[in-house]
Amino acid sequence: MSFYNLHTHDFVRVAVGVPRVHLADPNANADASIRLARAAARRGASVCVLPELGLTGYSCEDLFQQAALQRAAIEALERVVRATAELSLVLAVGLPFAVDGELFNVAAIVCRGRVLGLVPKTYLPNYREFYELRHFAPAAHARRSEVTLFGASVPFGADQVFVVEGQPKLVIGVELCEDLWTPLPPSSLAALAGATLILNLSASNATVGKSDYRRALVLGQSARCLVAYAYAGTGYGESTTDLAWDGHALIAENGTALAEGERFRREEQLVCADVDLGRLAADRERMTTFGATARRHFDEVARYRRVSVPLELGTEGELALERVYERFPFVPSDPATRAERCREVYRIQVQGLARRLEAAKSTKAVIGVSGGLDSTQALLIACRAMDSLSLPRKNVIAVTMPGFATSDRTLDQAHRLMAAFGVTASTIDIRPSCKQMLADIGHPYARGEQVYDTTFENVQAGERTSHLFRLANLHNAPVVGTGDLSELALGWCTYGVGDQMAHYNVNASVPKTLIQHLIRFEAASGELSAEASRALLDVLATEISPELVPGSKDGQPAQRTEEVVGPYELQDFHLYYVNRFGYAPSKVAFLCWNAWRDASRGSWPDVPAADRRAYDLAQVRRWLRVFLVRFFAQSQFKRSAMPNGPKVGSGGSLSPRGDWRAPSDSDATTWLAELDTHVPG
């Protein structure tokens, strides 16, 4: 299997085709259907759906009852079927189909020169401008479950899902237009029967505001059923005697719109999107209520027939991913959405701390301020929590504690932050107590040797934490933690000290990349003084370092965090897809490489060109190995003892009481082996 082939990583390309309709001319419509099917196959699509009654047009009215049109539609279908023999594609095409003296509005599922099934429309609208019951019978009227077509027996009925032999995660369900508008759409039962992709052949007409409602239905159904949903609406060429048609094409996945066509186009169009079957499978595994619903409706679900689709999805050679993955999955790229996300995160963090203060019957909070990112965000939350409780910000007992390696820059930033936000500020020089501790335990530094080992570092971290907890005793105030989600994931925190231990950790489920944008959002809010905003921007411009080992004389830190644990922008990407979906390392690497390989994309349009970065596959692989070892083998014992803190986003948290429960003595062998086997070195 090729690493560079999207099929290798459980993706499938889905196409929606909207032809120009030739009303009551099945032969011309067959030409358009074949042309779109071939175009979809050239694009690498494995599935293509066309509109409702596409071989005749939807607005034929009483012409549907003409034997000549019915016969011509079957002949057109036969042409389409023959044309698919050369295509690696599942095609859904609509036509009228007569059986047992009744006419049905059906979707024909075609693959490799065969009709695999005919799915009749379940619900026929007969209100306002619709009168389908005048011409068609609903699926429930079917008196047989198989029909003979082109000399072969073909399954007939709405109780079918189509299972692709070469990709068992690709199970296709079908419904037609109005079916989606009903209180219990057939696609709901199809999803419970295993369908992961729903095709909707539609002929919904255009009225003001209807496209928004239609889009909401598609997105909502895809989210509710944990499916991908491909919707093909009929367009130009339908009769405009009383109606207009917009040719709405939409592909969604679990509530997210992946692709949408241009409405009211006169020319035919093809819309494609790469659907992540692995994500849908992961979501269903984790959402136990999905399986519970299937069991509750067992009798209805058990009636579904599983029709085999003779299609192999090739995994050799390159088939590039067209879907764009955000570089920062925790941070929306759209500025308006990003701003709203920041506001929501602040609300969650502030409410969590405010409630904890109330429960503790405390009107104060203690926090250590280093002048770095995490303590700055925690300080902002502490101040806002006091505001929400109508308490003075002086009730935030903020202390900065310079040690052996504290830089003038971060110390200055800490003082400026505390002054700008009006908290009760103090400075405690921990070096004397650290020297005493080092002497007490017989460390070489106490004898004048420049030994900067882990003990040297942790003595400083421990002294800071000891001071904070004793201040908490003195003021009857909880210690507000500062450690973030990224540090907890990588184990980049000292057990039992402030970045791992507190009375309440407001940043516990906030990753480093999101913290950066939360601070940037606050600095640009217009609600702060000029000095406060400048202080926040200076914090953002400071290189990330624990500052526990003395640096150079020019003020540069001796420790650069990202040189050890990797770039946080990559590690947060890895964290999101490992924790949220449980993806295999090879798939995480594939997604990360696709997101970060091209520097010209940048992060967002507002990122200066000089700040746009790229990582090649070797770099992605290197830092993913670091992540896997630190996450799976080295850090769980720290997470198992982490304090309370509010869950912020769907990306998850690592609380042992919530999203992540794992043994502290596991190892990373399985994940490293998968990475080494499937990702080119």
Token representation of residue 365: 């909070």
Task: Give residues with Cβ within 8 angstroms of 344, minimum separation 6.
Answer: none
Helix (H) or strand (E) run with residue 352 in it: helix 335-359
Domain end position, chosen among 309, 325, 359: 309
Could you tell me if 369 and 276 lie in one domain?
A: no
CB 48 within 8 A of CB 89: yes
Q: How far apart are CA 139 and CA 100, in angstroms?
A: 13
Among 177, 272, 342, 592, which one carries the catalytic annotation? 177
**Does 319 map to a domain?**
no
Alpha-carbon torsion 147, 152, 153, 154, what sign?
A: negative
**Does 208 map to a domain?**
yes
Could you tell me if 49 and 194 lie in one domain?
A: yes
Q: 235-254, pLDDT tens digit by residue?
A: 999 999 999 999 999 999 99
pLDDT < 70 stretches in the chain: 552-555, 601-611
Helix (H) or strand (E) run with residue 42 in it: helix 26-42
**Does 320 map to a domain?**
no
Could you tell me if 526 and 674 lie in one domain?
A: yes
In 316-456, the DSSP E strands lie at: 365-368, 396-400, 424-427
**Does 273 map to a domain?**
yes
Domain count, the chain: 2
Could you tell me if 301 and 421 lie in one domain?
A: no
Catalytic residue at 262? no
* pLDDT value for 380: 98
- Chain centre distance of CA 591: 12
**Does 516 map to a domain?**
yes
Could you tell me if 257 and 365 lie in one domain?
A: no
* pLDDT value for 306: 98
Could you tell me if 296 and 344 lie in one domain?
A: no
CB 59 within 8 A of CB 241: yes
- Chain centre distance of CA 478: 35
Could you tell me if 402 and 301 lie in one domain?
A: no
Characterize the bridge pairing of strands 424-427 and 480-481: unpaired
Output the 3-class SS for 545-582: CCCCCCCCCCCCCCCCHHHHHCCHHHHHHHHHHHHHHC
Tell me the CATH number at 54. 3.60.110.10
Catalytic residue at 435? no
Helix (H) or strand (E) run with residue 359 in it: helix 335-359
Q: How far apart are CA 286 and CA 302, in angstroms?
A: 22
Could you tell me if 113 and 232 lie in one domain?
A: yes
Among 48, 111, 121, 132, which one carries the catalytic annotation? 121
Characterize the bridge pairing of strands 504-505 and 480-481: parallel
Could you tell me if 206 and 295 lie in one domain?
A: yes
Q: How far apart are CA 462 and CA 442, in angstroms?
A: 17
Nearest-CA neighbor of 270 among 253, 257, 251, 244?
Answer: 251
**Does 325 map to a domain?**
no
**Does 340 map to a domain?**
yes
Q: Which residues of 30-68 are buried (b: 16+ CB within 10 A; e: fewer)?
A: bbbbbebbbbbbeebbbbbbbbbbbbbbbbbeebbeeee
Q: How far apart are CA 445 and CA 442, in angstroms?
A: 8
Q: How far apart are CA 569 and CA 562, in angstroms?
A: 10
Compute φ and ψ for 327, nearest 5 degrees: -65, -30
- CA distances to 180, 185, 261, 677 from 247, in Å: 17, 22, 8, 45
Q: Three-class SS of residue 75?
A: helix
Tell me the CATH number at 472. 3.40.50.620
CB 14 within 8 A of CB 197: yes
Q: pTM for the whole thing?
A: 0.94
Q: Three-class SS of residue 426?
A: strand
Domain end position, chosen among 263, 291, 309: 309
Other Cβ atoms less than 10 A from the Cβ of 176: the count is 28
Catalytic residue at 177? yes
Among 48, 52, 487, 587, which one carries the catalytic annotation? 52
Note down the domain range covering 355: 335-678
Could you tell me if 274 and 136 lie in one domain?
A: yes
* pLDDT value for 605: 52
Could you tell me if 198 and 342 lie in one domain?
A: no
**Does 322 map to a domain?**
no
Could you tell me if 535 and 640 lie in one domain?
A: yes
